[in-house]
Amino acid sequence: MADNAVAEVDGDAIEKTTFDHWMTVAARSSGSATAAAPKPPDFTECVAQKRKAQAKPAKGQPKLTDKQLTAQCRTEYNGLRDQVMALLISFAWIQGEAEKQGIKITDADVRKTFATQKKQSFPKEADYQKFLKDSGQTEADILMRVRLQELSTKIRDKVTKGKDKVTDAQIKAYYDKNKAQFSQPERRDLRIVLTDSRAKAQQARDALASGQSWKTVAKEFSTDDATKSQGGKLPGVVKGQQEKALDDAVFSAKKGELNGPIKTQFGYYDFEVTDITEATQQSLKDATTTIRQLVAAQNQQKALDTFVKSFRADWREKTECGEDFKISDCKNGPKPTPTPTPAPTTPGQ
């Protein structure tokens, strides 16, 4: 590997000057236009800046030592380094994969997409120029990002092309396996009164039985704040939502029948079922359009996941990094985690 390189991808070098440039961009992404990346190995400037910015410690507390500040700077540097290496390696992987698959994008297309994005983000030219200055990026950097995103999109489209075809057999199999997704359970509208004792629940029931309105009785007796001001109304109850004793009573009760007191862990209930909406099951015919879309999306995602796994393995094997720049994307770096998070410009991400 060349002395001025931090890594090589399929024989092409990622130069140290490129790495340094993007380290500045990464450091400034924190929001400060004057932020600089810590410089190893001594982190002298970083330590001095932290020392200057350090707040006066609380009474009795010592100031941070140079060793502690150096450790902070090293941690910040390592985070930025890994972020930048992942970005630059992903740049190289995308370009390499696009070339391998014969996928191209013209400079004119890149410029057209760039112009659209620029107009949306920066209606005023002065704002765009300020962004470049503050972020440390050049227009060439922005154009590179646009090109790589467009290439990534084209790769993804090629990988998923034709994978949205779904057979009638696949649709039926999905429907049979997931019938619950296409059904609505029975729902019951209730009026309830919740009290903290059986005696009060009986008084409330007697009042209702004598002809007093639910609104009056709920206001006088109910301890359930959510329903007492609504005349005890509790609409759209589905089996399994309520405490078991109340649930069993509600779904065995007849419409219009006064029930209670029912003892539960929350207190004693009186209730009446005021309306019943029967359970429904959407037919296979009616569900076909929805299922076709779902299965097509699943097929495309499966194809994409398979490709990304192979893509990362293949290009990692072609990537060698310098001793001080190793990340999990390097074949000589640490092993990838079991569920690696792809870099932002990885196809399909």
**Residue 29 within any structural domain of the chain:** yes
The 10s digit of each residue's pLDDT in 122-133 is 999 999 999 999
- Indicate the residue among 249, 278, 307 that finishes a domain: 278
Same-domain status, 244 and 137: no
- Residue 40 in tokens: 């190893």
Same-domain status, 263 and 153: no
pLDDT at 341: 46
**Residue 313 within any structural domain of the chain:** no
Same-domain status, 10 and 81: yes
pLDDT at 336: 80
Same-domain status, 59 and 154: yes
**Residue 291 within any structural domain of the chain:** no
The 10s digit of each residue's pLDDT in 96-129 is 999 999 999 999 999 999 999 999 999 999 999 9
pLDDT at 338: 63
Q: Locate tokens 């922005």: which residue?
A: 142
Domain that holds residue 199: 186-278
Same-domain status, 145 and 241: no
Same-domain status, 15 and 141: yes
- DSSP-derived secondary structure for 93-120: HHHHHHHHTT----HHHHHHHHHHHHHH
**Residue 285 within any structural domain of the chain:** no
Number of domains in the chain: 2
Same-domain status, 26 and 155: yes
Number of Cβ within 10 Å of residue 62's Cβ equals: 7
- DSSP-derived secondary structure for 130-161: HHHHHHT--HHHHHHHHHHHHHHHHHHHHHHT
Same-domain status, 54 and 139: yes
Strands (E), the chain: 5-9, 12-15, 183-184, 187-195, 233-238, 258-264, 267-277, 280-281, 319-321
Q: Locate tokens 């109910």: which residue?
A: 222
**Residue 19 within any structural domain of the chain:** yes
Same-domain status, 13 and 136: yes
Same-domain status, 153 and 209: no
- Indicate the residue among 254, 278, 302 that finishes a domain: 278
Same-domain status, 14 and 142: yes
**Residue 245 within any structural domain of the chain:** yes
The span from the CA of 231 to the CA of 270, in Å, is 13
**Residue 38 within any structural domain of the chain:** yes
pLDDT at 347: 44
CATH number at residue 236: 3.10.50.40
- Counting as low any pLDDT under 50, the low residues of the chain are 340-349
Same-domain status, 145 and 41: yes
Query: In angstroms, what CA-CA distances link 219 with 173, 193, 271?
Result: 52, 9, 14
**Residue 102 within any structural domain of the chain:** yes
